[in-house]
Structure 1
Amino acid sequence: MNVVKRLPVLIMILTTITCMTACSSNVGNTQSNSKGTENAVNSTKEPLSIQMFAGLYNEVPEMTDAFWTEWQKRTNTKLNMEWVPSGDLDTKLDLLLASAQLPEVLSVPDFKRPSLIGAIKSGAFWDLTPLLGDFSKYPNLKNNVSLNAFKYRTVNGKIYSLPGSRSAIDPGIKIRQDWLKKLNIPVPTTLDEYADALVKISQGDPDGNGRADTLGLIGGGVIISDGDASFASGFGAMNPTYNNEGGLIYTNLNPQYTDTIAYFRKLYQSGALSKEFAVTKRTQAQDLFTTGRAASYTRSIWWDKEWEDLIKKNGQPEAKILNLTLKGPKAYAVNLTIGGTGSFLISKKVPEAKVIQLLDYFEKTASNEMTDLAYYGIEGVHHTVIDGQKVLNEKGVKEVNTTSKNAGVLATMKWGKVISASGDKAYNDAKIAEVKNFDEIGSVDPFNYLNSDTWNELWAKRQDEWKSMVTKAIVGQITMEEYQKYVDTINNLPEAKKAYAEFATQYKAIKP
């Protein structure tokens, strides 16, 4: 064999020897080098850019602040957020869906909004069912979210949205406890006692300004927007109610809900309900309560500490908010959620490869570690630990809030919507004690998860008219008999009966 023919063979032998030598020198270090390589890849991996539409419940956040910098660092993302004020969220969402110019991810407060269901059925969002599979790749999404979260939010048996996981105990009927004490009014234990207490407060001078100008119950539309579910629960409106054909009547149109409206009519006539309730927006109601103008308001319990602090800054240093446990004619006036009605949906325009990346992001946000960050921020930056409890400081209150919880699926926390991240242990223990039995005595509206195209089409035509009739009934422009006739007219429509039959079938199949 000549030299030319032997040269490739020699090169191959030398290469093999070199490789064997190198490999033998690394025996025992294979695992650490592999891990080091993995870490190096992760540390240099480009952040995942996510375009997201989400609700704004506080001041517009600075995405480069300490909280959002840490959130994006831990998830290796670059969030491009379109924050929409909560009061404009539904309107903006409807316009967005109609335009079909969808961002990559929608974070929405109500997964069964008719316009959203319509967009889902028209193919605007990814069917996540085959991608999630048996959830073996997504243990946080499987184990850390609210019970039945995926079961409740299916559309035609398919999963199109990931849950905004929250606690079942959420809204509370609040009252100024310090005003009760000042006016020697016993803490109300029934809806009737509550009504009497509001009359006394509104006719008194609890704020000491020399005028009887204190408002009783306020809310953004009250019976239509804020608090109606809590009060209606006391009248048994959340109990499944069927018509003569066995159809499940929509909650707002069942007899118990009509009884609730009659109750609000009495509140209005007595002066216990704000005269401006029908035109008060949610932001205005919140301002009225936090400036010490009103006695009662119904919202999430975790607002109490922040609102007490605001009332104190507005010249009422003794302010104390109490969430009431009120017995109604048929049940307690306590409304429970299904553990978060919010949803994250992924636009069908997103490539499948990126959908997988987005699911990995949401899986990470559903971890206990990311949930802790969403509630308390960074130790030493946003909170300190006092008596074993994390307490937000001034920076934490500014950066870690309701808005900061809207960019990812979080793990469910029983007291997540009760305790205040800025309250100390004594404060939060007392707040939990106020509502400790809510999950046992409260009611869930089945229409939080039932859905019908037939009903959506009908209600879209009738809802505004119904709201107007509710207002007229409360302020006395029509009698309760006239209101009842109006309700009967809707309930007897063929399409309503068809929808009620569909609701009954669904409820039987998926009820808890």
Structure 2
Amino acid sequence: MKPLHVKRLSMSLSCLLAISMLAACSDGGSGSKTAAPAPAADPKAAPKAAEPEKPLTVKIFAGLYNDAPDMNNAYWTEWQKRTNSKLEMEWVPSGDIDTKMDLVLASGDLPEILSSPNANRPSLINAAKNGAFWDLGPFLGDFKEYPNLKNNLAKDALKYLSVDGKVYALPRSRSRVDLGLKIRKDWLDKLNIPVPTTLDEYAAALKKITDADLDGNGKKDTLGIIGQGVVVDDGTTLFAAGFGALNPTYNEEGGMIETRLTPQWDDMIAYFRQMYSDGGLPKEFSVMKRTQNEELFRTGKAASYTNSIWWDDEWEKENRKTQPDAKILNLLLKGPKGDYALELQTGVSGGYYISKKVPEARVKQLLKYLEQTASQEMTDFAYYGIEGVHYKVVDGQKTLTEQGVKEVNVTSKGAGVLAYSKWGKVISASGSKAFNDAKIKEVEKFDELGLVDPFRGIISPTWLNTWPKYESEWKTMEAKAIVGQISMDEFKAYTAKLRALPEMKKAFKEFSDAYKTFTGK
């Protein structure tokens, strides 16, 4: 018997011999010893499909302005499909977002992306200066890889999000024309009150409305101008504009006085003090909440409210369930010296900040996602959703369906940059073409006549460190002045004392220098 290794060797030699013979036969009798060529590829064969890119997980801390959304609904499912993302949202009720954000910033336990509706918060700016967020400038470069961010943002958008010349955020794009001082036009008509054209006429109209029984319940319980926190929150600066507080104001040293400490702001507080005394400003104004106020206005319990103009159609329809003639009008009012009570936005409603804890490679991935959300396609989707599901086209106008009203709202715009849209906060996605055309005509002069708060986009290091020490006390003094617990002379003396503090004067000088740099004047 042959050994096993000899048998294996014999088998191997046999195999090699067979292979050689086959190769020799393959030359077609030409005598060539070259191997036959491989069969040609079929030109009609489809190329092998590339493996689909795995969805990018994106974690965002953002404001909640409606009911908490179902992230598996039709809108959010499509958003994630179009952006190839998997969103992990931490929704924070809008009334709590500043407090929650301050806690997050203080803890240092930052989310990957922090969405702030206000880029001017001292805690946020200090966090950026202390290295909490990535400087996005080097990533963006010449914007060659980010055409949407280059072409689709509002003018100076990134300047409003810069700190010490570094870009720390991408914008939450919103239109400059946003807030409207709303009043129930049908109530004015019912009481034969002409549409107010001045702040004084407006206050007089509210007094008449609150003295009447417009809902017919036998009580004089209709509220006047509603808001939340100190005075009327979002609308406070709009009123201040009517008293000239948005005009750059300088002290004797050439320092630019911060808006809330100007003498014009004091004049506005005196105005609200009289309105409070007359009943136009509710007794509970300082403790009212946003959700409560929206409910009061849309159900016919209040005469006036300041909020985005695009709500008008939805809130009119809500009011008409009990008051069929309900009509909302946004007022254009002049103050005592001819200034308009109009506040324009910058086109930037806060921004998206990327935590410095995020690895550099992942920052590029997140920027790719945010770049895509700044496209016109994603912006149209953010405002209207899916055709046939969230909207239908009527007379050339996209109009939200019942499902669209539920799923496409303020909150649904909180996961992306979006492109700038001039009338984005005016046009109602649930309104008809006729309604929206009329609404644009109603406010078409706002962009021309309104002012942006000059302190948007400029920073004073001294202010950031000083104002938090006095802000709470200042709010208390404002409320006391309005309700009559202290006199206006006492309140004005208090604000004059603040303006005279050495650290405040230093801050005002820094503001003045920053404003010159920002405007180039």
Q: Same fold (TM over 0.5)?
A: yes
Distance 1:435 1:231 in 2: 17
For 1:304, the equivalent position in structure 2 comes to 312
Counterpart among 191, 198, 202 of residue 199 in structure 2: 191
Alpha-carbon contact 2:427-2:436 (below 8 Å) kept = yes
Alignment of 1:92-491 (within 5 A): 92-221=100-229, 223=231, 225-313=233-321, 315-330=322-337, 331-491=339-499
Letter in 2 for 1:398: K
1:317-365 C-alpha deviation (Å, 9 max, x unpaired): 2211110011112311111011123210111121111111111111110
Distance 1:233 1:112 in 2: 18
Tell me the CA shift for residue 453 of structure 1. 2.1
Where has structure 1 moved over 3 Å in runs of 4 or more? 13-19
Tell me the CA shift for residue 201 of structure 1. 0.4
For 2:29, the equivalent position in structure 1 comes to none
1:49-88 C-alpha deviation (Å, 9 max, x unpaired): 0111110000110011000000000000000111110011
Alignment of 1:52-67 (within 5 A): 52-67=60-75
TM-score by length of 1: 0.92
TM-score by length of 2: 0.91
Counting aligned pairs with the same residue, the percent is 62
Change (3 A) 1:503 1:309: same
Tell me the CA shift for residue 407 of structure 1. 0.2
Tell me the CA shift for residue 441 of structure 1. 0.6
Alpha-carbon contact 1:241-1:254 (below 8 Å) kept = yes
Tell me the CA shift for residue 222 of structure 1. 5.4
Change (3 A) 1:145 1:15: farther
SS at match of 2:346: coil
Letter in 1 for 2:162: T
Distance 1:215 1:377 in 2: 36
1:288-345 C-alpha deviation (Å, 9 max, x unpaired): 21221110111111111222222223x2222111100111123111110111232101
Alpha-carbon contact 1:289-1:297 (below 8 Å) kept = yes
Tell me the CA shift for residue 224 of structure 1. 5.8
**Which is greater in Rg?**
2
SS at match of 1:446: coil
Distance 1:177 1:364 in 2: 41
SS at match of 1:116: helix
Cα RMSD of the aligned pairs, angstroms, is: 2.1
Distance 2:115 2:325 in 1: 38
Tell me the CA shift for residue 17 of structure 1. 5.1
Which 10-residue stretch deviates more, 394-403 or 285-294?
A: 285-294
SS at match of 1:196: helix
Runs (5+) with no aligned partner, structure 2:
1-15, 25-32
Runs (5+) with no aligned partner, structure 1:
none
Distance 1:460 1:453 in 2: 12
Distance 2:349 2:73 in 1: 28
SS at match of 1:209: coil
Alpha-carbon contact 2:117-2:351 (below 8 Å) kept = yes
Tell me the CA shift for residue 191 of structure 1. 0.8
SS at match of 1:448: coil
Tell me the CA shift for residue 511 of structure 1. 2.0
Letter in 1 for 2:229: G
Distance 2:37 2:184 in 1: 84
Number of residue equivalences: 493
Structure with the higher helix share, 1 or 2: 1
Distance 2:36 2:172 in 1: 56
Change (3 A) 1:74 1:270: same
Counterpart among 67, 76, 85 of residue 68 in structure 1: 76
